[in-house]
Amino acid sequence: MRGTHDSGPAVIGTETHSPAQRRGSVAGTVATVIVAHLVLLAVLAPVVTLSGLLGVAVGVAATA
């Protein structure tokens, strides 16, 4: 049997990371990061909004 272009084992079809797999894992990583950011935004948005409203209320109360 002849090995593939990499220096791995000389068995065809047993590469650990083919280019397609590598692309897939990169896409998976990007998707995970995007989902994590969306979850973070969903959790933090109400908190940020509440603190913003509190800040405005305090500002208005201070000037009144």
For 9-59, how does the pLDDT look when each residue is reduced to its tens digit (9 = 90+)?
Answer: 565 655 566 777 777 788 889 999 999 999 988 888 888 888 888 998 999
Token pair belonging to 6: 């990499």
CA distance 2 to 24: 26
- State the pLDDT at residue 44: 86
- State the pLDDT at residue 63: 86
* pTM of the predicted model as reported, rounded to 2 decimal places: 0.44
**Between 6 and 55, where is the model more confident?**
55
